[in-house]
Amino acid sequence: MMIRGARVRLNGWQQAAVAMGSAIGALMDPRRADLIAALGETTGKPAFERVLERMKKSPEGQAILLDRPRVISARVGHAWDMPANTFGAAYAKFMGSRNFSPDDRPPVRFMETDELAYVAMRAREVHDFWHTLFSLPTNLIGESALKVIEFEQMFLPMCLLSVIGGTARFSEKQRALFFQHYFPWATRAGMQCTDLMCIYYEQHFHEDLDDVRRKWGIVPAPPPPRQ
């Protein structure tokens, strides 16, 4: 499956300008998924190339690159019919409780090859699988903690910039909670789990949630301490 959309070729200066503009815009409004996506693409080519090479060396990664599955409603809707204890049901509950749609991700625009464009899109589309597996909320603290894990997994500059931008917007109480509780956990969790980009998640929807967490070395976020 090709990654369709208005892909744009940029020279070095144009890439730097888009990256800088996206970074400033994303820091001002972290809810702008399009700006965060553009920042990830214009600063992340070397990181995505490394992810691609790792996927080519992994059996499941190879299968993903061959099939090019998309995390869209037409392809993952069966998760809503899975038994309650399964990974698929947990993902469906996560999405449904927040009224999220898998079709809401912005398209890839600034990757040079179709193969890299797919890797960038895959990283974007499996984000909510990771929220589910790590039991992270979608508030600013939860997103920042997941970005720590994503940085350790992919070394995307965008992830580091997102953590810096997110923590800058924390209240003093949120900042203390993040750095004392979530940041140490996320640092350990990102290092000890398997390569998250080399998992064909859709083929594991039917499996028990706790079983796949153990198999992939995933430790869910601990509940915040009682005040």
Average pLDDT rounded to a whole number, residues 93-117: 91
Choice between 43 and 158, residue whose per-residue pLDDT is larger: 158
Query: What is the band of 106 on the pLDDT scale with cuts at 50, 70, 90?
Result: confident
b or e along 151-180 (b: 16 or more beta carbons within 10 Å of the residue's beta carbon)?
bbbbebbbbebbbebbbeebeeebeebbee
Question: Cβ(87)–Cβ(135) under 8 Å?
Answer: no
Q: Nearest 10 degrees: CA dihedral of 187, 192, 197, 198?
A: 180
In the structure, what pLDDT confidence band is assigned to residue 227 with cuts at 50, 70 and 90?
low
Question: Residue 9: is its pLDDT beyond 80?
Answer: no
Annotation: binding site: 127-128, 131, 143
Report the chain's mean pLDDT, rounded to a whole number. 86
Q: Give pLDDT, residue 100.
A: 96
Please state, in angstroms and rounded to a whole number, the distance separating the CA atoms of residues 67 and 1: 7
Binding-site residue ranges for Zn(2+): 127-128, 131, 143
Kindly indicate the confidence band of residue 19, based on its pLDDT and cuts at 50, 70 and 90.
very low
Q: What is the value of pTM for the model shown? A: 0.85
pLDDT in tens, 48-80: 999 999 999 999 999 999 999 999 999 999 999
Question: 41 with 106: CB under 8 angstroms?
Answer: no
